[in-house]
Amino acid sequence: MSNIALIGEREVIIGFNLIGLNILPVCGNEEASKALKECIQQQYAIVFITNEVAKTMIREIEEYQKKSKTAICILPSLLGKSNICMNVLRKNVEKAVGTDILFRNEG
């Protein structure tokens, strides 16, 4: 069993099970919240969430980032640019390293 999970729309994530990721297809915020909670409880090392699903639960993602050891990463969408991915990445880096080494302003 892989220690990596992927939460998102079925049509987007279905192929990832071929490379060994545990996929959790969801429809809506309630299912997504339940899937993320399950991943945290099962202590997955990494949980990827599609951008469209993450938009509906960003506060919940931020809370889990503060409390759990699970790294939560947002997969960017092909439809457009989103700051959600970068904000979550920034928080993951700060959690791992202790400071914002990627995005701090030098000056």
Q: What is the pLDDT of residues 14-54, one digit of tens each?
A: 999 899 899 999 999 999 999 999 999 999 999 999 999 99
Residue 88 forms part of a structural domain: yes
For the chain, the straight-line distance linking the first and the last C-alpha, in angstroms and rounded, comes to 46
Residue 102 forms part of a structural domain: no
CATH number where 68 lies: 3.40.50.10580
Residue 64 forms part of a structural domain: yes
Residue 107 forms part of a structural domain: no
Residue 26 forms part of a structural domain: yes
CA dihedral 21→59→28→1, nearest 10 degrees, is: 20
In the chain, the number of structural domains is: 1
pTM: 0.76
Closest CA to 75 of 57, 104, 54, 103: 54
Average pLDDT over residues 60-80: 85
Helix (H), strand (E), coil (C) string for 54-80: HHCCHHHHHHHHHHCCCEEEEECCCCC
Residue 47 forms part of a structural domain: yes
Please return the burial class of 85, using the count of CB atoms within 10 Å of its CB with bins 0-12, 13-18 and 19+: middle
Residue 81 forms part of a structural domain: yes
In sequence order, what are the residues at sequence separation of 6 or more whose Cβ sits closer than 8 angstroms to the Cβ of residue 15?
none
Residue 105 forms part of a structural domain: no
> Tokens 């790294």 — which residue?
71
